[in-house]
Amino acid sequence: MKPRVIAIDDDEMFLTGTKTLFNEKQIPLSTFANPEKAIRAIDEAKNSGSPFKMAIVDYDMPIKGDDVVRSIKKIDPSIHTVILSSSLSAEESSLCNRAGADHIYLKSKSKERILLLAEIASLKVKRGKLTKDEKEANNEWIKKTLNLRGHSTTLAKVASEVSKYAQAGESVLITGQSGVGKEQVARSIHNNSDRNGTFIAVNCGAISKDLVESELFGHLKGSFTGASNNQTGKFVAAHGGTIFLDEIGEMPLDSQVKLLRVLQEKEVYPVGSTKPTKIDVRVVAATNRNLTEEVKKGNFREDLYFRLNILPIQIPTLSERPEDIEPIAKFIVDEKNNETGLEKHITDDAIKLLESFAWPGNIRELNNKIRKAYTLADSIIDRSHFTSMVNSDDLEGVINEISKIEDFMSYEDFVENHRNRLERLYLEKAMVLADGKRAEAARLTGLPYTTYIFKRKSLGLTVNQNQ
């Protein structure tokens, strides 16, 4: 049964156009130009046992959209509410969020997404398996909003949060393990917004401590040794757009103070300048660290944490949503087929095996494994391609292999035969967990940075960043 939807707008032409759109999809739609009558209809529908599942509300009415949503949520908190507007300020977006709006869109970008929302309006995080139709609706919603593949309710929740936060002007803090897709989610926030400027991504963990301020805020010629020219900072380059501060937890404390000031005053001082430059930039930050713990340890400023964590998004690990592995795997294989002109296929048995793995490197690790299997396979990618890979790549596989040794050997021979292999696996695993960042990998292993790099070189491993 299709979900019942109600549209509330004092623009009769918009209501007529929306009605036609929904009729084409055979989705029942009730339209009201008067908000008070619409609210009464919602109340009556709930009392009759046939409630509306979604409400589309225009913001620019005599009774503002946030007030209408607030009234709707008092009657039935479960109704999916979508606010539309021709233009919406950051302050108005905040009012809508606080009123309980589930999604906020500009009317010019709303048509396709409203139809998708109507299809999944009855979907909530629930126990049990999703039906085929529910999976397809979630998959389309996630693809449209995040440009990711999957149909889990947990990832659909992330898509809903992105949809809801995109039009707001406040900072967003994205948290999650390495490899879960934090930058893609950040890009989706920008792409779903009405900001016309550039999306600028900055890896805070890859900038040396001495150059953080120059990279972010810019510098004047001659302001320090090596500053041979004026340089525009990332914040100014992102004016009118979005700046993505990845690995924000790696930022030095003294730079955190200056970042906080930029967020408060909305202006930057290039290094060597006494004149501020005004900026209009949406800030999205991300980290794989627990910033609450980092605040307690004194490694991260509490005031900056609160300033960044206005709109939080937690991305689940791949092990928390194994049902997404099948659509991701099939998408990667299809993508490779398009690149190569071949027609390879992955078997259901192989996918079941993949679903049983822990995937500490999340989507990035899954992507690498499937691409490697694709290269090794002739036309069919089956579980054998991944079994051999796991036995050679995973530390547990090596330990299992050692346990099967029949001719016991001396300690010296054992260490000589297996130490280098184990060290390679250990150092590579650290790099995967560190998202390809050498400094973070060294920290995870507890080795000094120079020792970590020396060991990688001596074992024949590459030392490039983000490999």
In a domain, residue 162? The reply is: no
pLDDT-derived band at 1, boundaries 50, 70, 90: very low
Q: How many domains does the chain have?
A: 3
| 171 and 285 Cβ atoms separated by less than 8 Å | yes
Tell whether the model's pLDDT for residue 126 goes beyond 50: no
Q: Is 128 exposed, middle or buried (0-12, 13-18, 19+ CB in 10 A)?
A: exposed
Handedness of CA 60, 64, 69, 72 (dihedral sign): negative
Q: What is the DSSP string of 326-382?
A: HHHHHHHHHHHHHHHS---EE-HHHHHHHHTS--TTHHHHHHHHHHHHHHH-SSEE-
pLDDT at 464: 56
Picking from 44, 189, 164, the residue whose alpha carbon sits closest to that of residue 100 is: 164
- Strands 282-287 and 242-246 come out as parallel
Mean pLDDT score across all residues of the chain = 83
* Residue 128 binned pLDDT confidence (cut-offs 50, 70, 90): very low
Please indicate, yes or no, if residue 365 is contained in any of the structural domains.
yes
CATH code for position 238? 3.40.50.300
Residues 430 and 297 in one domain: no
Per-residue model confidence as pLDDT tens digits over 19-54: 888 887 777 889 999 999 999 999 999 988 888 988
What is the distance of C-alpha 39 from the center of its chain?
35
Q: Which residue has the higher pLDDT, 80 or 114?
A: 80
Tell which wins on pLDDT, 295 or 1.
295
Alpha carbon distances (Å) from 290 to 51, 135, 226, 296, 345: 41, 32, 36, 10, 39
Q: Does residue 151 lie in a domain region?
A: no
Q: Does residue 444 carry a pLDDT above 60?
A: yes
Residue at token pair 């928390």 = 320
Is residue 163 situated within a structural domain? no
User: Which range marks the domain in which residue 217 is found?
Assistant: 172-314
Res 122 pLDDT > 60: no
Top-confidence range, 149-163, 262-276, 297-311, 347-361: 297-311
pLDDT at res. 399: 55
364 close to 179: Cβ distance less than 8 angstroms = yes
- Alpha-carbon gap, residue 179 to 288, rounded angstroms: 9
pLDDT digit string, tens, across residues 61-88 = 999 999 999 999 999 988 888 888 887 7
Helices 362-376 and 383-393, packing angle to 10 deg: 120
Confidence of residue 135 (pLDDT cuts 50, 70, 90): confident
End-of-domain residue from the set 296, 314, 332: 314
Regarding whether 298 and 189 lie in a shared domain, the answer is yes
CATH number of the domain encompassing residue 110 = 3.40.50.2300
* pLDDT the model gives residue 26: 77
- Shared-domain flag, residues 217 and 347: no
pLDDT tens-digit series, residues 188-202 = 999 988 899 999 999
393 pLDDT exceeds 60?
no
Report pLDDT for 111: 66
Q: How confident is the model over 134-162, as a mean pLDDT?
A: 83
Q: Which residues contact 191 (CB under 8 A, 6 or more apart)?
A: 147, 199
Cβ partners under 8 Å of residue 251, min gap 6: 204, 212, 245, 259
Same domain, 231 and 324: no
CATH number at residue 351: 1.10.8.60
The DSSP secondary structure of 390-429, one letter per residue, reads: HHHH-HHHHHHHHHT-SS---HHHHHHHHHHHHHHHHHHH
Mean pLDDT of 302-329: 92
Answer yes or no: is pLDDT of 225 > 90. Answer: no
Do residue 397 and residue 306 come from a single domain? no
Burial of 183 (0-12, 13-18, 19+ CB in 10 A): middle
Q: What is the pLDDT of residues 264-288, one digit of tens each?
A: 999 998 888 888 899 999 999 999 9
Mean pLDDT of 298-304: 94
- Domain boundary (98, 129, 160) is at 129
Task: State mean pLDDT over 376-398.
Answer: 69
Q: Which residue has the higher pLDDT, 118 or 312?
A: 312
Cβ-Cβ contacts under 8 Å for 442 (sequence gap 6 or more): 430, 448, 449, 451, 452, 453
pLDDT for res 354: 86
Q: For residue 389, what pLDDT band results from cuts at 50, 70 and 90?
A: low
Angle between the 348-355 and 325-340 helix axes, to the nearest 10 degrees?
130
pTM of the model: 0.64
C-alpha–C-alpha distance, residues 278 and 269, integer Å: 9
Q: Are residues 63 and 179 in the same domain?
A: no
Q: What is the SS3 assignment for 273?
A: coil
**Claim to verify: residue 248 and residue 335 sit in the same structural domain:** no
Please name the helix (run of DSSP H) or strand (run of DSSP E) that holds residue 38, with its range, or none.
helix 35-47
